[in-house]
Structures are given as structure tokens and as C-alpha cells.
């Protein structure tokens, strides 16, 4: 498998170099490379550039790039918290059919192009030293459903509170992660959290959890070695049982969810723990990836869980400050939840424009300092319970902060401070939400059915309706977003006004300024996005995911590349066009082709106009051209 992929790479490079002497590579050259690589062009809806684009994903210089060198944004969801439950044997789905149904909906309804795919160590290695290949086969089959829908995947061996086997049948809480044999070998005290209003308090208050985690990080009884062995076996299995084009869409691997020391050694700090304990573990995991045939894929490494906490008494120094340059071997991978909002105490109101600009700027800054790409692989907010009324504004503010460093109020006046568009996967995408039948800690008297069926959480963006079809539980305008999935060059700035709702209130945090009256008239009360980018000369187009709320007939594009209402189907001669996204799910993309190099381009995309006049389009284009020249 490894030898064949190396041949693929050389064939692809040869085809590109052959075409390089006459300007932009031709579609024929890319087609030759794709045929030789046996790559993703076979997916329904694929175009000539999709196969080489999917051939690689590189994390370096503060961004992800695809096989054509285009800047890539990964957006999607965690699939799913069902893995943390026993009802489906540690798998995200009850069947491959459910996985396929979920993948199609995630693409078409949720606008995702990437999933963080949860795996369970407890089910992968139920007996010490014996990896359950039946579990790996089932997980691989379910993973294929997403890969074949054109969705990138990065697996995650998930854990919370170390293991469910630490908890008693009648406990208020449960965990997931380590197998039963790990807990039995540890002889840990009876678990007890004291006055714990939130399950996460077990991390620092439950002695059983603290001691078990300490033993893992210090490899007591070789338990960490056992985990690394199982991880390597899992990665080897995936590399051997996925086809070449499927494996190409595997973005990397997340070694460990939400790491934390739980207990520090004498004199140790959160920063020295990251340097002396956590980072050596990641280096060992990286070596296992190389041995398993994942040498060209990055490890999505997470810093200390509390490095970016937004409650001062929880925040700890960290962020892999001493790890040096990470790219392209590692991705800076972090989570963000608004602990103040979730507490119900420290943020009494709702989120507003620019609420998380500083929090997500810190993520950008750490990734930039380490020379790699960043991904916020978990973010979200409860959708039921006492603080659920905050969810529409909290999630809008989080997506706004992924799109740009700036509040909407500042974006138009200084767009070049917008920063890179961040990748992120929302927690979570669980089609069984509200329909679970989970025996909590194996207790038949504590059957969990509501929400996510895990420690009282309810964060899934999706559920099944009475007919068994996936439906969104959140505003589609919030989740199915316009975003630059692949930029041929460098993104200068991006913003998206989704007009999502908080009840009956439309949230507009980035209105078009009054000094652009024709642009404002064109957008009206509709949604809009604006991308500024500097081209790099490739013949492949820049791609933006088109939400379902942007049907082709209602989509207007105003760009220096062309101005059109109802863009045509893609052709290499069309600078502005639409096409299906690969995978046959019905999702669509806008394609903007700029074969020049070093030129600043702009594109406004809106669904606010109905058959706009040529005069309005021309006036809006003149306004945007003048604005871009003045501000970018």
C-alpha cells in the first residue's frame, strides 16, 4: 500500500511538471494523474481537478493545503457521541445504512466537508493485547460511508473521565475510553465527585479519575504502551482496508481527547506537564503513525484541556508553548466551549457580535507561532436545559469567530485584519438524539433515552424524525454556511452574514455599510458572504460551499471575475459557475476561476436579490471594486 501511494505521488508530480511549461496545468494533465492514482474522481459529481486535490492534505505555514496547493478549510461535526455509549458497541452507528444516511445529511443539510470520527479503545481492545478486528472492521465500514460521500475524516480515540468502568452502577456520572482491564489492574478507589454540578468537575475532584489518568500518563503497568499498540494496529488496519482514494481523504489522526494531568508531580506546572509528559506521548504516537503507513498525515494534537478556558480560575498556562515548529507533522487541535455561558452564572445574558473574537484569535496565534494549521475540533452549546436559550447567539458567535478575527461591526473598515478562516468540527452529529436506549454504567434501572444519553448532555445538531429521516435541531441558516472550502491562493479576508434566528429575531451582526448603497440594496435582507483572496496562478478554481438556502436561481455573484445572477454550470471557460460537490449527496459549490497570479480578487455571494437589474449589478460591482482597492 505504501509503495503504491508513493508511485501515485510521482505520477501526479510528473503530470503537473509536464503541464507547467505552458502556464496553468490543463485538465488533461490532471486527468492523467488522476487516472494513474486511481483517486477520488470516481465520486459522483467530481470534476477534473477533484482527484489531485483530494490526493493529499498538508498542514504547514498556518494553513491546510490540498493536493493542488489550494488553501483548505475543514468544516463539519463530531461523529458522534454515540461512540461513548454501549448500546451500539462503541460505534457511531447501529448499521452502515445509518452511517450512509447520516453522511448524506451531514453534507446536504449541515454543510460539512469533514468529520472527527470517534473510536473507542474499550471496544478496540477488550482483552489486553487482543485487538478486536471485528470492531475495527465495523468502524471502517462506517467510516467509508463518509469517505464515499466526499467527506474528509480524522479519527479520534475518544476518552472522557478516563473510562466508564471507573463508575458504579448507581453513579450520577459515567465516562468512556479505557477498557475494563485497565481499571481492574489499577485498583482505584471508589469513585466520588462530591458537590459536582457538571460532569467535567470529575476531572479535578474525583480521585478515581485522577489516579487512573495519572497512571496512563506515567505508563503504570505499561498501560500507555498498550494504548499505543492498539492505536498502531487500528491505523494499520485502516491503511490496509481502505482503498487508495478513501485513505487519501483521511486527514490525520487525533491521538487523545482533552488531555489533562489531573494530578501534577511535585513542582510540576501545567506548562512543564505539557513539555515533559504530554509532548513525549505525542512523539510516540507520531512514530506509531509512521510505522502504520500514516507518515504523510499529521497528528491532530491537543494541548492541555484548560489552556484556553474562559473562566480565570480554570485557565492554565499551556498551548504546546514548548513544542517548537509543528507543521507538517502535527496540527494544532483545540476545543472551545463557553464555560461562562454554560455555567448559567458568569454570563447572564446572551452572546453578541464579536463575543469570541479574542478566544479564537488565540487559537490562530498559537497555530501561527507553531507553523501549522489549526482546527477547533469541538465547540458547541447545550440545546436543552437552563442555558439553552443562549445557544442561537453562542453558536452564531463561534462560527463568526471561525470565519474572521473581527466583529461584524469592524469587518468592512479593516478586512485585512480578518485573519485565516479557521477549520472546526461542531459537537456533535448524533442521529439517535432523543431516541437512545443506554443502560448507564450497565444499570438496567437507569436507562438513558433523552438528549445524547451521556451525563445529561444534549448538543446534537441533528435527530431522526418519525419517518426515520435526519432533520436539523438548529437553524439551518446557522449550520449550513457559505465558506471557502478551497482557495486557489491566499485568503485575505472572509465574512459571512448568516441571518440566523434567535427565536423570531433575525440576528444581523454584519450589515453592509451605508456607504455601499447598491451592495446593500442587492443584499437586502438576504444572506451574504464576501471573500477576498490573492490568486496563485493555478488552473483549479476557488471553491465555496453553497448552502441549500442558495439555490442556483437565487444566487447572485458580484466579482472582479464576473457578475452574474443564477450562475451557469461549471465549464473551464466560465470564471463564475456552480457544480455539485463530490459524493452524490446533492450539496453544491460555487467555483471561481482566476488563472492569474498575485492578483487581489473579490467575490460577493448573496441570495438577497430576485432578478437584479444589470444596472444594479454594475453599480454594486463598482462599489466593491472601489472598496477593495481602498481597504485591501
Cβ atoms of 360 and 401 closer than 8 Å: yes
pLDDT at 579: 98
**538 pLDDT tier (thresholds 50, 70, 90):** confident
CA angle in degrees (0–180, nearest 5) for 51-139-219? 110
pLDDT at 2 over 50: no
**How many Å apart are CA 529 and CA 515, to the nearest integer?**
18
pLDDT at 9 over 80: no
Cβ atoms of 397 and 49 closer than 8 Å: no
Region 88-116: what's the mean pLDDT?
Answer: 98
Alpha helices in 260-356 (DSSP H): 270-273, 279-291, 339-343
Cβ atoms of 170 and 271 closer than 8 Å: no
Query: pLDDT averaged over the chain?
Result: 93
Cβ atoms of 428 and 77 closer than 8 Å: yes
pLDDT at 481: 98
pLDDT at 40: 39
Identify the structural domains of the chain with CATH numbers, from first to last: 75-250+252-480 (3.20.20.80), 489-631 (no CATH)
pLDDT at 7 over 60: no
pLDDT at 31: 33
Spatial CA neighbour of 45 closest among 108, 87, 94? 108
pLDDT at 42: 72
CA angle in degrees (0–180, nearest 5) for 286-292-294? 65
Burial of 155 (0-12, 13-18, 19+ CB in 10 A): buried
Region 191-209: what's the mean pLDDT?
Answer: 94
Residue percentage of the chain with pLDDT more than 90: 91
Cβ atoms of 251 and 153 closer than 8 Å: yes
Q: Which residue has the cell 469517505?
A: 147
The four Cα atoms 607, 610, 616, 621 give a dihedral, to 10 degrees, of 20
Cβ atoms of 318 and 366 closer than 8 Å: no
Region 122-130: what's the mean pLDDT?
Answer: 98
pLDDT at 632: 87
**How many Å apart are CA 56 and CA 261, to the nearest integer?**
34
More confident residue, 22 or 461: 461
Question: pLDDT (tens digit, 9 = 90+) per residue, 554-567?
Answer: 999 999 999 999 99
Question: pLDDT (tens digit, 9 = 90+) per residue, 440-496?
Answer: 999 999 999 999 999 999 999 999 999 999 999 999 999 999 999 999 999 999 999
Sign of CA dihedral 94, 99, 101, 102: positive
pLDDT at 423: 98
**How many Å apart are CA 323 and CA 337, to the nearest integer?**
24
Region 56-84: what's the mean pLDDT?
Answer: 97
Lowest mean pLDDT among 24-38, 109-123, 252-266: 24-38
pLDDT at 216: 98
Grid coordinates of 97? 445504512
More confident residue, 591 or 187: 591
pLDDT at 204: 94
pLDDT at 262: 87
Cβ atoms of 627 and 564 closer than 8 Å: no
Region 586-605: what's the mean pLDDT?
Answer: 96
pLDDT at 12 over 70: no
**How many Å apart are CA 601 and CA 604, to the nearest integer?**
10
Amino acid at each position: 500500500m505504501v509503495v503504491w501511494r508513493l508511485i501515485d505521488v510521482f505520477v501526479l508530480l510528473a503530470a503537473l511538471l509536464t503541464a507547467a511549461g505552458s502556464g496553468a496545468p490543463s485538465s488533461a494533465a490532471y486527468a492523467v494523474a488522476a487516472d494513474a492514482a486511481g483517486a477520488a474522481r470516481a465520486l459522483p459529481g467530481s470534476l477534473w481537478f477533484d482527484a489531485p486535490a483530494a490526493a493529499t492534505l498538508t498542514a504547514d505555514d498556518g494553513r491546510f493545503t490540498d493536493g493542488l496547493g489550494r488553501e483548505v478549510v475543514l468544516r463539519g461535526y463530531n461523529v458522534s457521541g454515540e461512540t461513548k455509549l454501549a448500546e451500539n458497541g462503541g460505534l457511531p452507528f447501529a448499521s452502515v445504512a445509518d452511517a450512509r444516511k447520516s453522511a448524506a445529511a451531514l453534507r446536504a443539510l449541515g454543510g460539512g466537508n469533514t468529520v472527527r470520527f470517534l473510536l473507542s479503545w474499550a471496544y478496540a481492545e477488550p482483552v489486553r493485547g487482543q485487538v478486536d478486528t471485528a470492531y475495527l472492521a465495523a468502524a471502517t465500514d462506517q467510516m467509508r460511508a463518509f469517505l464515499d460521500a466526499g467527506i474528509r475524516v480524522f479519527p479520534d480515540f475518544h476518552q472522557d473521565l478516563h473510562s466508564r468502568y471507573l463508575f458504579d452502577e448507581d453513579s450520577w456520572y459515567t465516562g468512556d475510553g479505557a477498557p475494563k482491564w485497565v481499571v481492574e489492574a489499577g485498583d482505584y478507589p471508589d469513585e466520588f465527585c462530591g458537590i459536582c454540578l457538571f460532569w467535567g468537575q470529575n476531572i479535578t475532584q474525583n480521585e478515581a479519575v485522577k489516579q487512573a489518568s495519572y497512571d496512563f500518563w506515567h505508563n503504570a503497568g505499561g498501560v500507555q504502551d498498550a494504548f499505543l499498540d492498539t492505536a498502531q494496529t487500528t491505523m494499520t488496519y485502516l491503511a490496509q482496508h481502505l482503498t487508495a482514494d478513501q485513505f487519501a481523504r483521511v486527514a490525520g489522526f487525533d491521538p487523545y481527547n482533552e488531555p489533562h494531568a489531573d494530578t501534577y508531580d511535585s513542582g510540576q506546572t501545567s506548562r512543564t506537564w505539557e513539555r515533559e509528559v504530554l509532548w513525549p506521548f505525542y512523539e510516540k504516537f507520531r512514530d506509531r503513525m509512521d510505522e502504520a503507513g500514516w507518515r504523510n498525515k499529521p497528528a491532530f494534537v491537543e494541548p492541555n484541556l484548560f489552556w484556553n478556558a474562559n473562566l480565570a480560575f480554570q485557565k492554565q498556562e499551556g498551548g504546546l508553548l514548548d513544542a517548537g515548529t509543528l507543521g507538517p507533522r502535527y496540527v494544532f487541535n483545540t476545543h472551545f466551549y463557553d464555560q461562562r455561558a454554560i455555567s448559567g452564572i458568569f454570563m447572564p445574558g446572551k452572546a453578541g457580535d464579536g463575543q469570541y473574537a479574542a478566544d479564537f484569535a488565540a487559537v490562530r496565534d498559537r497555530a501561527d507561532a507553531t507553523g501549522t494549521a489549526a482546527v477547533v475540533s469541538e465547540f458547541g452549546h447545550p440545546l436543552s436545559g437552563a442555558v439553552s436559550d443562549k445557544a442561537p447567539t453562542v453558536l452564531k458567535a463561534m462560527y463568526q469567530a471561525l470565519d474572521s478575527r473581527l466583529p461584524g461591526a469592524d469587518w468592512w473598515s479593516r478586512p485585512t485584519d480578518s485573519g485565516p478562516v479557521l477549520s472546526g468540527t461542531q459537537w456533535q452529529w448524533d442521529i439517535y438524539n432523543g431516541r437512545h436506549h443506554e443502560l448507564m454504567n450497565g444499570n438496567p434501572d437507569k436507562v438513558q433515552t433523552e438528549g445524547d444519553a451521556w451525563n445529561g448532555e444534549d448538543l446534537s445538531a441533528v435527530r431522526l424524525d418519525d419517518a426515520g429521516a435526519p432533520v436539523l435541531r438548529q437553524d439551518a441558516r446557522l449550520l449550513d454556511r457559505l465558506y471557502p472550502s478551497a482557495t486557489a491562493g491566499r485568503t485575505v479576508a472572509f465574512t459571512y452574514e448568516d441571518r440566523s434566528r434567535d427565536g423570531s429575531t433575525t440576528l444581523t451582526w454584519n450589515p453592509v455599510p451605508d456607504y455601499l448603497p447598491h451592495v446593500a440594496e442587492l443584499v437586502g435582507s438576504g444572506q451574504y458572504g464576501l471573500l477576498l483572496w490573492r490568486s496563485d496562478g493555478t488552473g483549479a478554481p476557488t471553491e465555496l460551499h453553497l448552502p441549500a438556502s442558495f439555490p442556483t436561481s437565487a444566487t447572485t455573484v458580484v466579482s472582479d471575475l464576473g457578475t452574474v445572477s443564477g450562475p451557469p454550470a461549471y465549464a473551464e471557460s466560465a470564471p463564475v459557475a456552480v457544480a455539485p460537490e463530490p459524493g452524490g449527496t446533492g450539496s453544491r459549490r460555487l467555483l471561481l476561476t482566476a488563472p492569474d497570479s498575485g492578483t487581489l480578487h473579490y467575490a460577493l455571494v448573496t441570495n438577497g436579490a430576485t432578478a437584479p437589474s444589470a444596472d444594479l449589478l454594475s453599480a454594486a460591482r463598482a462599489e466593491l471594486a472601489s472598496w477593495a482597492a481602498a481597504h485591501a
